[in-house]
Amino acid sequence: MPLEPLSQKEIEDRLAELPGWSLDGDRIARSYRLPSHFAATAMVVHIAQVQEELDHHCDLTLGYNTISLTVNTHTVSAVTERDFALARRIEDLAPGHGAG
């Protein structure tokens, strides 16, 4: 089944369910602040595990105690339901790492 880009309305509706996430061009984006560099690094590893499980990968940047992510479906250069599935999983794991 081919992945279809979501409409602007669909993206806005899904973003309303993910506080902290926003639309950034053709991607959804979020930044997290964590209590330490070690916590941020551990969260990056956890995100990598989820990405492998879903076979869907985002761009992420690790700072001292921050993580910034941008997610889109590269094959269609747009936001799809797959991106929101990954974002939801990241949101679910974030509190366990002390992310805010």
Provide the residue-wise pLDDT of the chain in tens; the chain has 100 residues. 458 999 999 999 999 999 999 999 999 999 999 999 999 999 999 999 999 999 999 999 999 999 999 999 999 999 999 999 999 999 999 999 999 8
d(Cα 60, Cα 63) in Å, to the nearest integer?
10
pTM for this structure? 0.95
Question: What are the structure tokens assigned to 19, written together?
Answer: 């506080």
pLDDT of residue 100: 87
Compute φ and ψ for 20, nearest 5 degrees.
95, -20
d(Cα 24, Cα 51) in Å, to the nearest integer?
20
To the nearest 10 degrees (0 to 180), the angle between helices 81-93 and 37-54 is 140
